[in-house]
Structure 1
Amino acid sequence: MPSPSDGPAPGSATVREAAAGATSVPAAVAVREVRHRYGRGADAVTALGPLTLDIPAGEFLVLVGPSGCGKSTLLRLIAGFERASSGTVAVHGGAPEPGRQAGVVFQQPRLFPWRTVGDNISLALRFAGVPRAERPARVEELLERVGLTGTSGRRTWQISGGQQQRVAIARALAGGKDLLLLDEPFAALDALTRERLQEDLRTVSAQTGITSVFVTHSVDEAVFLGTRAVVLSARPGTVALDIPIELPRTGSEDPDELRGLPGYAALRAEIGATVRDAAR
């Protein structure tokens, strides 16, 4: 049996907390004792909290948990689409403002069908203050980043659902924000397209270092994409598990080799077990 001088066991909650406390990376998002309710009086439902969470700059945080646990609610609070019933949410030290601090990608692409692929992205560049003369080059750069080179002149209804979601990600990146919020963006796609987009998003994350918060029901998606996973309990959602995902992340990993790593399987098992417990 280890003595007290031996310190906590590797992988224990204490080690994780110590590692988190030792980091000097400032928090891009700070959530403090947040609770959120819907409705009033006897019909009120507490969807979330109490919940306290720091998201350091450059982290790819994945929120996973059973349906109705408050994952999307937390994302909307960070985006500024809703205000917490109690507690505080801060983005870069200030109150969240819709469209100001974060790019957001939803379950559906929500593109403008009367605009071309390039024009959808160019509009976001315009709102971001990018000069007109610079926009065409930036559009092509963003399309290349999401694997859609040569599609700028096509109509959105002329491309597949997976390609439309790539455009939505490019549009979110076009705003120049250093925070990206994604609410189950691949949920409606077929399995093969979903895997390809996961690979692309992981590469974009590794190359840009953008702070990201990603909501999913998929444990495998959480482990594949994230640098950290937070499992929320059943409603009202609180933190059931907060675990770093320490896997290779250069953007050039072979997906099959990555999924074959022992550490990958161990993370998937731990997160999956916690999600199942939370759903009971």
Structure 2
Amino acid sequence: MSSRPETAGAGEEVAAVRLHEVEHVYGGPGGPVAALGPISLTVPPGAFLVLVGASGCGKSTLLRLVAGFERPASGTVRTGGAAPVPGRGAGIVFQQPRLFPWKTVGGNVELALRYAGVPRAERARRVPELLERVGLHDVADRRIWEISGGQQQRVAIARALAGDDPLLLLDEPFAALDALTRERLQEDLRRVSAQTGRTSVFVTHSVEEAVFLGSRVVVLTRRPGRIALDLDVTLPRTGVEPDELRALPEYAALRAEVGHAVRAAAA
């Protein structure tokens, strides 16, 4: 795979994420297993892309390729015009928060800022700002084991936002949470996304979550994952309360369309 960075022509914008004819294969005792592709996909800056599909369709594999944790068997992956490098250019939130339990809530965020090269004086200012953004301004001094699972995932999101990376990658971050907490965090993430304008790629099994969060939804087929549906979501991103958004006829229509595509793709 070539490491030469992409360049934009006059008046063009470098894509936040670009996949071209990407395929990925895993080895196994029974021989190679085709996990993904071929897939070509371009994500412009500021988009909130949601990948949805049945288990084993390659959603998390695609996310790992974008993060640079793995390299494709064939094709090219670019983030911001260059080959992705693990730990650079993207904040990542996993299904489990993966926090440091011996540190406080604020200490976990402060550590992420330190790794991002933020000076100490600025870290002291930004920690409360980041915690305020995810609704945790009043628990900064608590230890991780003293807060709920939903609050821990909020810390993970604040930590991912700490480095001002242009890309945010989220691999089923709410899957282990109860329905009410999950819904609240969906609303918080949608608000934070609108505030920051960062490009996000979010993996989920949930059709409801995909339509609520995404400005664009891509449905993947069963393995090897290919694009079954690529849908722009035209619902308003700001100025509408979550309950009002979920009550819109357009929301119900999109949910039905995506749900039908997921079921057909998994068949």
TM-score above 0.5: yes
Secondary structure of residue in 2 paired with 1:34: strand
Percent of pairs with identical residues: 72
- Give the structure 2 partner of residue 32 of structure 1: 20
- Partner Cα distance (1:123, 1:80) in 2: 22
Unaligned stretches of 5+ residues in structure 2: 1-10
2:91–2:169 CA contact under 8 A, matched in 1: yes
Secondary structure of residue in 2 paired with 1:27: coil
- Partner Cα distance (1:43, 1:192) in 2: 43
Q: CA deviation at 1:180?
A: 0.1
Q: Which of 143, 148, 164 is residue 155 of structure 1 equivalent to? A: 143
- Partner Cα distance (2:28, 2:99) in 1: 35
Q: CA deviation at 1:106?
A: 0.1
> Is the counterpart of residue 118 in structure 1 residue 112 in structure 2?
no
> Is the counterpart of residue 68 in structure 1 residue 68 in structure 2?
no
TM-superposition CA deviations, 1:148-204 (whole Å, max 9, x none) = 112111100000000000000000000110100000000000000000000000000
- Partner Cα distance (1:83, 1:24) in 2: 27
After the TM superposition, which residues 104-253 of structure 1 pair with which residues of structure 2 at under 5 Å, given as runs? 104-250=92-238, 252-253=239-240
Secondary structure of residue in 1 paired with 2:16: strand
- What amino acid is the match of 1:47? A
2:14–2:81 CA contact under 8 A, matched in 1: no
- Give the structure 1 partner of residue 256 of structure 2: 269
- Partner Cα distance (1:144, 1:253) in 2: 21
Q: Which of 67, 78, 91 is residue 103 of structure 1 equivalent to? A: 91
Larger Rg: 1
Secondary structure of residue in 1 paired with 2:245: helix
- What amino acid is the match of 2:266? A
Q: Which of 234, 242, 259 is residue 255 of structure 1 equivalent to? A: 242
Q: CA deviation at 1:82?
A: 0.6
- Give the structure 2 partner of residue 4 of structure 1: none
- Partner Cα distance (2:245, 2:233) in 1: 12
- What amino acid is the match of 1:269? A
- Partner Cα distance (2:249, 2:212) in 1: 13
Aligned length: 257
- Partner Cα distance (1:40, 1:110) in 2: 28
- Give the structure 2 partner of residue 83 of structure 1: 71
TM-superposition CA deviations, 1:1-52 (whole Å, max 9, x none) = xxxxxxxxxxxxxxxxxxxxxx965310110100000006852110000000
Secondary structure of residue in 1 paired with 2:137: coil
- Give the structure 2 partner of residue 18 of structure 1: none
Unaligned stretches of 5+ residues in structure 1: 1-22
- Partner Cα distance (1:65, 1:84) in 2: 20
- Partner Cα distance (1:24, 1:188) in 2: 40
TM-superposition CA deviations, 1:243-275 (whole Å, max 9, x none) = 00001111x421111011111011101100000
- What amino acid is the match of 1:259? R
- Partner Cα distance (2:53, 2:30) in 1: 26
2:21–2:37 CA contact under 8 A, matched in 1: yes
2:131–2:137 CA contact under 8 A, matched in 1: yes
TM-superposition CA deviations, 1:94-144 (whole Å, max 9, x none) = 111111010000000000001111111111101111100111210000000
Secondary structure of residue in 2 paired with 1:172: helix
